[in-house]
Structure 1
Amino acid sequence: MSNFRSLTPSRRGVLAAGGAVGIGALLAACGGGKGSGSANGGTGGGAWSFTDDRKKKVSLDRTPQRIVAFTGTAAALHDFGIDDQIVGVFGPTKLKNGKADPQAGGIDVDRVAIIGNEYNQFNVEKYASLRPDLLITNMYEPDALWFVPDDRKDKITQLAKSVAITSSRVSLVKIIERYAELAASLGADLKAQQVTADKARFEKASAALRKAAKSHPVKVLACSGSANLFYASNPGINADLMYYKSLGVDLIVPDHLDKGGYFESLSWENADKYQADLLLLDSRTATLQPKDLAAKPSWAQLPAVKAGQITPWSSEPRFSYAGSAPLIEALTKAIESAKKVN
């Protein structure tokens, strides 16, 4: 991911201001656990429990009916069929023009209450007014609840129990499976036609990417740009990059990683350290895009940039089959059309 995920407040500030790398630069994740839900699913009857990736068993008298979640988390659950139970979200939800942020996926952003649209905007009073049963978010470092501000964490977690799903250092497939478990515990039907169709599309896309990576061997660099630094992301930590690499994509591994291991930060003068044929460029709304980077001479001189071989990278992927399949398809298409330029 990007330097977003860094541990220090200063790096979080960089992220919030728009100077981050992919989610690969986030925080370190913790291991997985086993999930369990009530037999009554989302009906609200009977006790409910789920063991999250902090290895904490969260138990309630009934299946949660009022859920507040990180936007990307809510979007993943929505893809598995959990929708009406989600009453509020926090994280990138609406763009400045009022349209849905890409991280919101299929969520109706005008229906849910937005607790905060950016990092550190979490409105505790508004959260409390929703009378939440449960808070759900990603986790990039042990016990660190993504987009839940540290200075308000204790107050927030006293208002409702929380569930955290690890989101890095584990392959994309494993995280999607955990979200499926969680959704099932909340009442989702994983055998529903749309869910099974989404899974089939994901599997087909993965097979196509494996084939493309073998027949079109090009070097790929996942990266992100800020005003002062160019970040080369580590495919050994980012869940999506780990998965792409397992399918045979030749992703460049930075050799001088910053603390935390998510990326290597380079001055723009050294942006050409890694000679890639294809750039996977962080596409989050808080990061700089090709039009923003065009004025930087070192960017313009990169072989992949000269060749127009840049493809968007959703460095905070939606952890569902529906959310990830299009990303894999787009990468496959980019690899198939890329030529060696080094």
Structure 2
Amino acid sequence: MSNARATHFTRRGILAAGGALGLGAALTACGSDDENGGSADGKASAASGPWSFEDDRGTTVKLDQVPTSIVAFTGVAAALWDYGVQVKGVFGPTTTKDGKADVQAGDMDVSKVTVLGNAWGKFNVEKYAALAPEVLITTTFDDAGTLWSVPEESKDKIAKLAPSVAVSVFDRQLTEPLQRMWELAESLGADMKADKTVQAKKDFEAAAERLRTAAKARPEIKVLAGSASPDLFYVSGTNLSVDLEYFKALGVNFVEPSEAAKKATGGWYESLSWENVDKYAADVIVMDDRTSATQPADITEGTWKKLPAVKAGQVISRSPEPILSYDKCTPLLTNLAEAIEKAKKVS
């Protein structure tokens, strides 16, 4: 992935930017809350009895017991960790070069999981088999239900080893996959009545109201969602991304590339050369925080440094692949609300 942004974006046109697709899915986990158990700290307890879960593809996975040998995409594992559910293995960006947790690993103790591949699309099938997986959990960024970060060339081998569950982060608003992850964690034995978990949801709702208020008070503030690679700058559209779609629904005024400009990427984003990075005027820029993207501090292009929002210090981070727990999504709302509240009108 030498040009991480470019290669990432061309994979089914997926991700510089993921909405409102009502894939209402039913969930059942046998046993009452008391039977599943619970704990004050929100740690998942050993749930018993048969387990079934209908995912956002409409696929229902049924097992004789609640799975404990779980393998998940890193960001999904991080969300489950926040709810007290421990996975055995992960795939996707997990540790940085110095061994610390990648931004997509959140608060997860990366020393307690087997890493099957430390980058998007990397997956060691032999290691996976050795874990005796009961279920694989990831997200999907398209309406075909393609499993995120599961490599095309080995997907059939992987599928034979354990059933999969997918949470859609395509063309729907952030609150929908958040609710689905909540339901999934609960089915896996998480105590959703734990003080920490209940408070996290309240904090998220308060942060959403703060962003709504800030956007309403300052509709003139234009926000651009960007992502950088060595060769190109990507301006995300809002109509497919779960975070941007939700922020837009709360009233945030986003720069929106034309449909024609986004056509080549399936509607996700517009690619700009660094010479044309000033094509759109913006007061606040939210930048892709993933390690596969060039981070703002490392951008040396003079055209970037001349942008009014950059000169004004009005650049914040964005998580195009948000960790789907209320605890991790609250700062995304709070940081954007604060940026809009404090922004100077520079565009």
Deviations 1:243-282 (A, max 9, x none): 1111111111111213311111112222111101110011
Structure 2 matches for 1:274-313, cutoff 5 A? Answer: 274-293=280-299, 295-313=300-318
Picking from 244, 248, 252, the partner of 1:245 is 248
Deviations 1:90-112 (A, max 9, x none): 11111101111111112110011
Structure 2 matches for 1:165-314, cutoff 5 A? Answer: 165-217=167-219, 218-255=221-258, 256-257=261-262, 258-293=264-299, 295-314=300-319
Deviations 1:273-309 (A, max 9, x none): 110111001111111122221x212212211112121
* Cα 1:147/1:29, change in 2 over 3 Å: farther
- Percentage of identical aligned residues: 47
Structure 1: tracts of 5 or more residues without a match: 13-20
Contact residue 30 and residue 140 of structure 1 kept, 8 A: no
SS of equivalent residue, structure 2 residue 181: helix
Picking from 328, 338, 341, the partner of 2:333 is 328
Could you tell me the TM-score, scaled by structure 1's length? Answer: 0.90
* Correspondence for 1:17: none
Aligned-residue Cα RMSD (Å) equals 2.0
Amino acid at match of 1:132: P
* Correspondence for 2:42: none
Distance 1:78 1:29 in 2: 26
SS of equivalent residue, structure 1 residue 165: strand
Distance 1:220 1:176 in 2: 24
Q: Does 1:110 align with 2:111?
A: yes
Deviation at 1:7, TM superposition (A): 3.2
Deviation at 1:29, TM superposition (A): 8.1
Q: Does 1:143 align with 2:161?
A: no
Deviation at 1:204, TM superposition (A): 0.8
Distance 1:124 1:29 in 2: 32
Q: Does 1:120 align with 2:121?
A: yes
* Correspondence for 2:165: 163
* Cα 1:91/1:28, change in 2 over 3 Å: farther
How many residues align structurally?
326
Deviations 1:114-154 (A, max 9, x none): 11101232110001101111100011022211111010000
Structure 2: tracts of 5 or more residues without a match: 37-44
Contact residue 32 and residue 54 of structure 1 kept, 8 A: no
Distance 1:171 1:5 in 2: 20
* Correspondence for 1:77: 80
Distance 1:220 1:70 in 2: 30
Could you tell me the TM-score, scaled by structure 2's length? Answer: 0.89
Deviation at 1:44, TM superposition (A): 4.7
Distance 1:186 1:273 in 2: 47
Deviation at 1:223, TM superposition (A): 0.5
Distance 1:30 1:245 in 2: 18
Deviation at 1:33, TM superposition (A): 2.0
Amino acid at match of 2:122: Q
